[in-house]
Chain A
Amino acid sequence: SAVISQKPSRDICQRGTSLTIQCQVDSQVTMMFWYRQQPGQSLTLIATANQGSEATYESGFVIDKFPISRPNLTFSTLTVSNMSPEDSSIYLCSVDSQGYNEQFFGPGTRLTVL
Protein backbone atom coordinates (compact mmCIF):
# COMPACT_ATOMS: atom_id res chain seq x y z
CA SER A 1 0.00 0.00 0.00
CA ALA A 2 1.01 3.62 -0.47
CA VAL A 3 1.77 5.98 2.40
CA ILE A 4 0.26 9.40 1.84
CA SER A 5 0.82 12.57 3.82
CA GLN A 6 -1.00 15.87 3.61
CA LYS A 7 -0.07 19.34 4.78
CA PRO A 8 -1.49 21.13 6.61
CA SER A 9 -3.53 18.73 8.69
CA ARG A 10 -5.90 21.54 9.60
CA ASP A 11 -6.22 25.27 9.17
CA ILE A 12 -8.52 28.13 10.01
CA CYS A 13 -8.67 30.78 7.31
CA GLN A 14 -10.34 34.08 6.69
CA ARG A 15 -12.94 34.62 4.01
CA GLY A 16 -11.45 35.75 0.71
CA THR A 17 -8.02 34.18 1.21
CA SER A 18 -6.57 31.08 -0.46
CA LEU A 19 -5.04 27.92 0.96
CA THR A 20 -2.78 25.42 -0.80
CA ILE A 21 -2.91 21.83 0.39
CA GLN A 22 -0.03 19.50 -0.34
CA CYS A 23 -0.20 15.76 -0.93
CA GLN A 24 2.95 13.61 -0.87
CA VAL A 25 3.13 9.90 -1.73
CA ASP A 26 5.97 7.56 -0.86
CA SER A 27 5.97 5.93 -4.30
CA GLN A 28 5.39 6.96 -7.89
CA VAL A 29 1.74 6.85 -8.91
CA THR A 30 -0.02 7.66 -12.14
CA MET A 31 -3.33 8.96 -10.88
CA MET A 32 -4.03 11.19 -7.93
CA PHE A 33 -7.46 12.33 -6.85
CA TRP A 34 -8.76 15.18 -4.74
CA TYR A 35 -11.99 14.81 -2.74
CA ARG A 36 -14.05 17.08 -0.56
CA GLN A 37 -15.99 15.89 2.47
CA GLN A 38 -18.33 18.56 3.73
CA PRO A 39 -19.50 18.36 7.35
CA GLY A 40 -21.68 15.31 7.86
CA GLN A 41 -21.53 14.45 4.17
CA SER A 42 -19.95 11.84 1.97
CA LEU A 43 -16.92 12.31 -0.23
CA THR A 44 -17.24 14.12 -3.52
CA LEU A 45 -14.57 13.93 -6.18
CA ILE A 46 -13.21 17.34 -7.13
CA ALA A 47 -10.72 16.38 -9.82
CA THR A 48 -8.27 13.82 -11.12
CA ALA A 49 -4.66 14.91 -11.40
CA ASN A 50 -2.31 13.17 -13.81
CA GLN A 51 1.32 14.12 -14.14
CA GLY A 52 2.09 16.05 -17.28
CA SER A 53 -1.43 17.09 -18.11
CA GLU A 54 -4.10 19.39 -16.79
CA ALA A 55 -6.38 18.11 -14.10
CA THR A 56 -9.80 16.81 -15.04
CA TYR A 57 -12.56 18.44 -12.99
CA GLU A 58 -15.89 16.95 -12.05
CA SER A 59 -19.18 18.69 -12.64
CA GLY A 60 -19.58 21.60 -10.26
CA PHE A 61 -15.87 22.19 -9.74
CA VAL A 62 -13.78 24.64 -11.77
CA ILE A 63 -10.09 25.29 -12.15
CA ASP A 64 -10.33 28.94 -11.10
CA LYS A 65 -11.71 27.92 -7.72
CA PHE A 66 -9.63 24.75 -7.21
CA PRO A 67 -6.38 24.99 -9.19
CA ILE A 68 -4.33 21.81 -9.02
CA SER A 69 -0.68 21.16 -9.72
CA ARG A 70 0.96 17.80 -10.40
CA PRO A 71 4.66 18.50 -10.97
CA ASN A 72 5.83 14.87 -10.60
CA LEU A 73 4.65 11.34 -9.87
CA THR A 74 4.77 11.67 -6.08
CA PHE A 75 3.33 15.11 -5.36
CA SER A 76 0.26 17.25 -5.96
CA THR A 77 -1.27 20.42 -4.59
CA LEU A 78 -4.84 21.65 -4.40
CA THR A 79 -5.55 25.34 -3.85
CA VAL A 80 -8.86 26.51 -2.48
CA SER A 81 -9.17 30.03 -3.81
CA ASN A 82 -11.14 33.03 -2.59
CA MET A 83 -12.55 31.00 0.25
CA SER A 84 -15.98 31.37 1.81
CA PRO A 85 -17.49 29.58 4.83
CA GLU A 86 -19.12 27.12 2.41
CA ASP A 87 -15.61 25.81 1.61
CA SER A 88 -15.24 24.53 5.17
CA SER A 89 -14.63 20.83 4.62
CA ILE A 90 -12.14 18.05 4.88
CA TYR A 91 -10.06 17.80 1.72
CA LEU A 92 -8.51 14.42 0.97
CA CYS A 93 -6.14 13.23 -1.66
CA SER A 94 -5.97 9.66 -2.81
CA VAL A 95 -3.84 7.63 -5.18
CA ASP A 96 -4.56 4.77 -7.48
CA SER A 97 -2.95 1.51 -6.48
CA GLN A 98 -1.25 0.73 -9.78
CA GLY A 99 -3.21 -2.25 -10.95
CA TYR A 100 -4.89 -3.33 -7.73
CA ASN A 101 -8.08 -1.41 -8.43
CA GLU A 102 -8.23 0.37 -5.13
CA GLN A 103 -7.38 3.81 -3.82
CA PHE A 104 -5.39 4.79 -0.77
CA PHE A 105 -6.33 7.95 1.04
CA GLY A 106 -4.35 10.57 2.82
CA PRO A 107 -5.31 11.65 6.35
CA GLY A 108 -7.13 14.73 5.09
CA THR A 109 -6.89 18.48 5.67
CA ARG A 110 -9.59 19.94 7.86
CA LEU A 111 -10.34 23.48 6.65
CA THR A 112 -12.46 25.99 8.53
CA VAL A 113 -13.29 29.30 6.85
CA LEU A 114 -14.48 32.14 9.05
Chain B
Amino acid sequence: AQSVTQLDSQVPVFEEAPVELRCNYSSSVSVYLFWYVQYPNQGLQLLLKYLSGSTLVKSINGFEAEFNKSQTSFHLRKPSVHISDTAEYFCAVTFTGGGNKLTFGTGTQLKVEL
Protein backbone atom coordinates (compact mmCIF):
# COMPACT_ATOMS: atom_id res chain seq x y z
CA ALA B 1 0.00 0.00 0.00
CA GLN B 2 1.10 3.55 -0.67
CA SER B 3 1.49 5.83 2.32
CA VAL B 4 3.19 8.89 3.74
CA THR B 5 4.70 9.05 7.21
CA GLN B 6 5.68 12.08 9.22
CA LEU B 7 7.26 10.72 12.35
CA ASP B 8 7.30 13.95 14.34
CA SER B 9 3.93 15.35 15.36
CA GLN B 10 5.52 18.37 17.06
CA VAL B 11 8.90 20.00 16.72
CA PRO B 12 9.79 22.82 19.13
CA VAL B 13 12.81 24.88 18.19
CA PHE B 14 14.36 28.17 19.20
CA GLU B 15 14.49 31.05 16.78
CA GLU B 16 17.54 31.10 14.51
CA ALA B 17 18.18 27.40 15.13
CA PRO B 18 18.14 24.88 12.27
CA VAL B 19 15.24 22.49 11.83
CA GLU B 20 14.46 19.30 9.94
CA LEU B 21 10.98 17.91 9.47
CA ARG B 22 10.99 14.32 8.39
CA CYS B 23 8.86 12.70 5.69
CA ASN B 24 9.02 9.16 4.37
CA TYR B 25 6.81 7.51 1.83
CA SER B 26 6.05 3.99 0.72
CA SER B 27 5.37 3.29 -2.93
CA SER B 28 6.07 0.77 -5.64
CA VAL B 29 5.55 3.39 -8.38
CA SER B 30 7.02 6.76 -9.19
CA VAL B 31 5.96 9.70 -7.06
CA TYR B 32 5.72 13.45 -6.99
CA LEU B 33 6.44 15.00 -3.59
CA PHE B 34 5.14 18.14 -1.95
CA TRP B 35 5.39 20.13 1.25
CA TYR B 36 2.40 22.24 2.22
CA VAL B 37 2.25 24.74 5.06
CA GLN B 38 -0.81 25.73 7.05
CA TYR B 39 -0.49 28.85 9.18
CA PRO B 40 -2.88 29.23 12.11
CA ASN B 41 -6.46 29.64 10.92
CA GLN B 42 -5.45 29.71 7.27
CA GLY B 43 -5.67 27.36 4.30
CA LEU B 44 -2.94 25.23 2.81
CA GLN B 45 -0.17 26.80 0.79
CA LEU B 46 2.31 24.94 -1.36
CA LEU B 47 5.81 25.40 0.05
CA LEU B 48 7.82 23.40 -2.47
CA LYS B 49 7.63 20.37 -4.71
CA TYR B 50 9.73 17.74 -6.40
CA LEU B 51 8.62 16.47 -9.78
CA SER B 52 11.85 15.54 -11.53
CA GLY B 53 15.40 16.74 -12.11
CA SER B 54 17.52 18.08 -9.27
CA THR B 55 16.74 16.25 -6.07
CA LEU B 56 17.23 19.40 -3.99
CA VAL B 57 14.36 21.87 -4.21
CA LYS B 58 14.07 25.22 -2.50
CA SER B 59 11.33 27.64 -1.50
CA ILE B 60 11.45 31.41 -1.56
CA ASN B 61 11.47 31.68 2.24
CA GLY B 62 14.59 29.61 2.93
CA PHE B 63 13.19 26.10 3.21
CA GLU B 64 14.63 23.27 1.18
CA ALA B 65 13.89 19.58 0.76
CA GLU B 66 15.85 16.76 -0.78
CA PHE B 67 14.37 13.77 -2.52
CA ASN B 68 16.23 10.61 -1.55
CA LYS B 69 14.92 7.73 -3.63
CA SER B 70 16.96 5.02 -1.91
CA GLN B 71 15.65 6.06 1.50
CA THR B 72 12.21 7.02 0.16
CA SER B 73 12.43 10.31 2.01
CA PHE B 74 11.71 13.98 1.36
CA HIS B 75 12.84 15.77 4.52
CA LEU B 76 12.27 19.50 4.90
CA ARG B 77 15.04 21.68 6.30
CA LYS B 78 15.74 25.27 7.16
CA PRO B 79 19.12 26.46 8.48
CA SER B 80 17.70 29.25 10.63
CA VAL B 81 14.03 29.49 11.58
CA HIS B 82 11.99 32.56 12.41
CA ILE B 83 9.01 33.04 14.67
CA SER B 84 6.87 33.46 11.58
CA ASP B 85 7.66 29.88 10.52
CA THR B 86 5.41 28.59 13.27
CA ALA B 87 2.82 26.51 11.43
CA GLU B 88 1.66 23.01 10.57
CA TYR B 89 3.67 21.38 7.81
CA PHE B 90 2.23 18.58 5.70
CA CYS B 91 4.16 16.26 3.44
CA ALA B 92 2.10 14.97 0.52
CA VAL B 93 2.58 12.60 -2.39
CA THR B 94 0.92 11.80 -5.65
CA PHE B 95 1.54 8.36 -7.05
CA THR B 96 1.87 7.51 -10.71
CA GLY B 97 -1.47 6.17 -11.87
CA GLY B 98 -3.22 7.74 -8.88
CA GLY B 99 -5.00 10.38 -10.93
CA ASN B 100 -3.27 13.35 -9.24
CA LYS B 101 -4.80 12.47 -5.88
CA LEU B 102 -2.76 13.77 -2.99
CA THR B 103 -1.99 11.51 -0.05
CA PHE B 104 -1.06 13.51 3.02
CA GLY B 105 1.07 12.72 6.01
CA THR B 106 -0.29 13.40 9.46
CA GLY B 107 1.48 16.75 9.71
CA THR B 108 4.20 18.24 11.90
CA GLN B 109 3.54 21.22 14.12
CA LEU B 110 6.60 23.46 14.07
CA LYS B 111 6.68 25.81 17.04
CA VAL B 112 9.41 28.42 17.01
CA GLU B 113 10.20 29.99 20.37
CA LEU B 114 12.24 32.99 21.36
Contacts and interface: CB of A to CB of B under 8 A. Distances in A.
Given A42-B104, A45-B101, A102 B34 contact: yes
A101 B100 contact: yes
Interface in B42-58: 42-46, 49, 51
Contact of A101 (B49, B90, B101): B49
A66 interface: no
Place the interface of chain A in its size category. 10 to 19
- Which of B43, B94, B107 lies at the interface centre, i.e. has the most chain A CB atoms within 10 A of its CB? B43
Interface in A39-55: 41-45, 48
B63 interface: no
Interface residues of B, number: 21
Contact of A31 (B36, B46, B90, B100): B100
Interface string B78-114: 0000000000001000100001111111110000000
Interface string A61-80: 00000000000000000000
Contacts of B34: 102
Nearest to B49: A102
Interface in B5-36: 32, 34, 36
Interface string A25-43: 0000001010000000111
A96 B46 contact: no
A66 B7 CA distance: 31
Nearest 9 pairs of A and B residues by beta carbon? A107-B43, A105-B44, A42-B104, A42-B106, A43-B104, A42-B107, A105-B43, A108-B43, A96-B100
24 contacts: A31-B100, A33-B101, A41-B106, A41-B107, A42-B90, A42-B104, A42-B105, A42-B106, A43-B90, A44-B104, A45-B101, A45-B103, A48-B99, A94-B44, A94-B102, A101-B100, A102-B34, A103-B46, A104-B46, A105-B36, A105-B43, A105-B44, A107-B43, A108-B43
Interface of A: 31, 33, 41-45, 48, 92, 94, 96, 101-108
Interface of B: 32, 34, 36, 42-46, 49, 51, 90, 94, 99-107
